[in-house]
């Protein structure tokens, strides 16, 4: 079955630590990839997206993600996290074969210790 897997359910870091959140998908063919963030009490917001071209994508607030097609992965990174990065992070995929909808992973809760 087509799916999106986020391996870390809850990550706890101290401020200034580096972050990497894993995301793998099981779709074949061409995909578009996204990371969304949901701050406490707020709506889902787009962090970054990959459609084509450079597999290293830069997003808002210093986040970046790298698409590695051979590994079916799209990991999110940030070199130095801040307390304000505390949120839930969702990886998501649209496959060209099911272009109608975006499929989400189960999310990773990120807690930053001040």
Partner 1 sequence: DTGVSQDPRHKITKRGQNVTFRCDPISEHNRLYWYRQTLGQGPEFLTYFQNEAQLEKSRLLSDRFSAERPKGSFSTLEIQRTEQGDSAMYLCASSLDGGAVGNTIYFGEGSWLTVV
Interface residue list for partner 1 (CB under 8 A):
4, 6, 9, 32, 34, 36, 42-46, 49, 51, 90, 92, 94-96, 99-107
Using the minimum distance from each CB to partner 1, give the nearer residue, 47 or 112.
47
Structure tokens at 19: 């972050």
Q: How far is the CB of 82 from partner 1 (least distance, A)?
A: 23
Using the minimum distance from each CB to partner 1, give the nearer residue, 42 or 70.
42
Using the minimum distance from each CB to partner 1, give the nearer residue, 36 or 67.
36
> What is the DSSP track for 3-67?
-EE---SEEEEETT--EEE--EE---S-EEEEEEEE-TTS-EEEEEEE-SS-SEEE-GGG-EEEE
Q: How far is the CB of 35 from partner 1 (least distance, A)?
A: 12
Q: How far is the CB of 101 from partner 1 (least distance, A)?
A: 5
Neighbours of 19 (CB within 10 A): 20
Using the minimum distance from each CB to partner 1, give the nearer residue, 18 or 97.
97
Find, among 88, 99, 114, the residue nearest to 21 by Cα: 88
């Amino acid at each position: 079955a087509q799916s999106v897997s986020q391996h870390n359910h809850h990550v706890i870091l101290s401020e200034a630590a580096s972050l990497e959140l894993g995301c793998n998908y099981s779709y074949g063919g061409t995909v578009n990839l996204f990371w969304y963030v949901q701050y406490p009490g707020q709506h889902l917001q787009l962090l970054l997206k990959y459609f084509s071209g450079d597999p290293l994508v830069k997003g808002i607030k210093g986040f970046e993600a790298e698409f590695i097609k051979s590994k079916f992965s799209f990991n999110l990174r940030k070199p130095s996290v801040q307390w304000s990065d505390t949120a839930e992070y969702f990886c998501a995929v649209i496959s060209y074969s099911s272009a109608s909808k975006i499929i989400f992973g189960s999310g990773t809760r990120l807690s930053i210790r001040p």
